[in-house]
């Protein structure tokens, strides 16, 4: 569903399981920090809202979205989380660089999901401009960080079925 048809922060909290016994890794890109810090805040607040203990949320930064996959792998190996959330923002520019980064990050996160026994959550905004990114990082379309945290909780518990 297109983001402009659904608010990323709009969900039924009663349908989200308790996360108090889960550990989460979050890897966040420093590039486009205005946006990624808002995504991080949304993810952390949502995890805590669903009882994740602050000491069970491990946050690491990487320089850019391209580095998210390596950072996520390191977090998975060193912290043994139940899920890893990857947060970044790639804004389209005037060169094809946008396409290469988006493809690499999505492929890298897909490979991590296949190679590990834990879920890696795609919380990367890929937008045409800064306004679209702001709209999805706490603006009029909610916060992709909230959505990523909810997904991480659900997928982490799916592992234990």
In the prediction, which pLDDT does 4 show?
Answer: 62
In the prediction, which pLDDT does 8 show?
Answer: 75
How far apart (Å, rounded) are the C-alpha atoms in residues 108 and 83? 16
In the prediction, which pLDDT does 122 show?
Answer: 97
Known catalytic residue: 160?
Answer: no
Out of 97, 131, 140, 159, which one is annotated catalytic?
A: 97
**What is 24-129+138-158's CATH superfamily?**
Lumazine/riboflavin synthase (3.40.50.960)
Q: Name the nearest CA neighbour of 91 among 72, 65, 120.
A: 65
- Gyration radius from the chain CA atoms: 15
Q: Is the pTM of this model over 0.85?
A: yes
Angle CA(136)–CA(33)–CA(152) in degrees, nearest 5?
55
* Pairing between β-strand 57-62 and β-strand 24-29 as defined by DSSP bridges: parallel
The domains of the chain are located at 24-129+138-158
Identify which has the larger pLDDT, 11 or 56: 56
Q: State the average pLDDT for the chain.
A: 92
Q: Is 96 helix (H, G, I), strand (E, B) or coil?
A: coil
The pLDDT tens digits of the residues spanning 70-104 come to 999 999 999 999 999 999 999 997 777 888 889 99
């Amino acid at each position: 569903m297109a983001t402009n048809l659904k608010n990323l922060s709009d969900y039924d909290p009663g349908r989200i399981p308790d996360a108090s016994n889960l550990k989460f890794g979050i890897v966040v890109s420093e590039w486009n920090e205005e946006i990624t810090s808002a995504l991080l805040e949304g993810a952390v607040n949502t995890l805590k809202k669903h009882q994740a203990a602050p000491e069970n949320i491990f946050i690491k930064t990487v320089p850019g979205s391209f580095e998210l996959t390596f950072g996520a792998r390191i977090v998975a190996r060193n912290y043994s989380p139940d899920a890893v959330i990857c947060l970044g923002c790639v804004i389209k520019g005037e060169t094809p660089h946008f396409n290469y980064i988006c493809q690499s990050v999505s492929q890298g996160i897909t490979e991590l999901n296949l190679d590990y026994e834990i879920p890696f959550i795609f919380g990367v905004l890929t937008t045409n401009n800064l306004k679209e990114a702001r709209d999805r990082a706490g603006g009029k379309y909610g916060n992709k960080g909230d959505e990523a945290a909810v997904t991480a909780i659900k997928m982490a518990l799916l592992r234990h079925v």
